[in-house]
Amino acid sequence: MVKPHAFTAKKTGTIISMLEDNDFQIVGIKSIKLTPELARRFYFVHQGKEFFERLINYMSTGTVAAICVEKDNCVADLRKFIGATDPAKAAEGTIRKIVGVTVEQNGVHASDSVDNARKEIRFFFSDIELYSYRYLQY
């Protein structure tokens, strides 16, 4: 997911290009304004943590781009490709190093496990909104 500051700063295209250039296939994409209620539902796993309210407030400040990608070993490869949560500590060439500003405004969110990826995909997309390159018949 492209976070509000990166979306507003017109970095979504850069992020999509970086993903595609690194063999991630876009299978679903949409822009959405997260309300505080939607942000709470999405980030419920962080409820009770000291940063939770700040995260909810930030994520509901503007539009996000929900992007679903497909690739072998997708979750692990994507986590590595986006970089460390803190852009200052992220490796050169990672998305967060390039578009991130702070820990909160680090450009993107990515699922941390296959199980969470399934839940997060279902949060944003219905089956009809997803297109899989893996099942193409020519």
Q: Quote the pLDDT of residue 131.
A: 87
Question: Among residues 137, 133, 135, 136, which one has the least CA distance to residue 28?
Answer: 133
Q: Is the pLDDT of residue 114 over 70?
A: yes
Q: Is 54 in a helix, a strand, or coil?
A: helix
Q: Quote the pLDDT of residue 6.
A: 98
Catalytic one of 11, 40, 97, 109: 109
Answer whether 47's CB lies under 8 Å from 68's CB: no
CATH superfamily for domain 4-129: Nucleoside diphosphate kinase-like domain (3.30.70.141)
Beta bridge pairs of residue 33: 63
Question: Among residues 33, 22, 41, 30, which one has the least CA distance to residue 82?
Answer: 22
46 annotated active-site: no
Distance CA 6, CA 100 (A): 8
> Whole-prediction pTM value?
0.92
